């Protein structure tokens, strides 16, 4: 990672490398139907390895080079630099996952920890991606043994959403690490990796 990638910003609002605005913790109805959303500020760095001076990002020695700040920067080229370290962070931190997908799929609306409604109002969906009328409900799956439980739960919610939002197409995906993909496939589990989801959603 090039820790000197920052070229400086004209004002604080451009410092998306440090503080990023995301859609989070709203209900599904608002996510799908509201034209505008109140976004929340989240810290990009999971390791407190940043400091800002004169609208310029300085990266401290405790940086673990996950590169998320570089991906979130408003002035660097938008390219997929996913590595194993970053993958681990994204799958353990929903704010970071939201930031990543928001950058990689600017043609989509991204929301994290979206509240279910109806009989499922106490549940939250890890990540929701919407492009036009196609909506993807994503569960970060850390344990393949829980695949059936979460897939059944998400599909039950989709049945409810299909009745309420009958002009939308809903899909459920279990998001896993690249390293467990072959094991999941051998067990006929319909899972997806970050890279595959980035490249194929909405096609």
pLDDT over 90 for what percent of the chain? Answer: 82
Q: Return all residues near 26 (Cβ < 8 A) that are at least 6 apart.
A: 37, 111, 114, 115
Q: How many CB atoms lie within 10 A of CB 72?
A: 22
Q: Which residues of 118-132 are buried (b: 16+ CB within 10 A; e: fewer)?
A: eebeeebbbbbbbee
Decide if pLDDT at 154 tops 70: yes
Residue 11 confidence (pLDDT): 87
Residue 1 confidence (pLDDT): 83
pTM recorded for the entire structure: 0.93
* Residue 79 confidence class, pLDDT cut points 50, 70, 90: confident
């Amino acid at each position: 990672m090039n820790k000197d990638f920052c070229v400086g910003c004209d004002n604080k609002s451009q410092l998306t490398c440090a503080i990023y605005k995301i859609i989070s913790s709203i209900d599904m109805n608002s996510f799908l139907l509201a034209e505008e959303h109140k976004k929340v500020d989240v810290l990009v760095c999971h390791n407190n390895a940043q400091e800002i001076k004169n609208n310029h990002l300085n990266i401290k020695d405790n940086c673990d080079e996950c590169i998320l700040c570089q991906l979130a920067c408003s002035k660097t080229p938008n390219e997929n630099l996913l590595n194993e370290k970053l993958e681990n962070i994204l799958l353990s931190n929903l704010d970071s996952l939201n930031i990543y997908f928001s950058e990689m799929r600017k043609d989509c609306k991204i929301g994290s920890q979206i509240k279910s409604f109806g009989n499922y109002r106490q549940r939250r969906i890890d990540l929701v991606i919407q492009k036009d009328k196609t909506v993807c409900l994503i569960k970060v799956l850390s344990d393949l043994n829980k695949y059936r439980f979460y897939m059944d739960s998400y599909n039950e919610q989709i049945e409810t959403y299909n009745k309420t939002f009958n002009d939308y197409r809903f899909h459920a995906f279990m998001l896993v690490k690249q390293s467990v993909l072959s094991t999941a496939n051998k067990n006929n589990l319909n899972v997806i990796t970050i890279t595959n989801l980035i490249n194929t959603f909405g096609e």
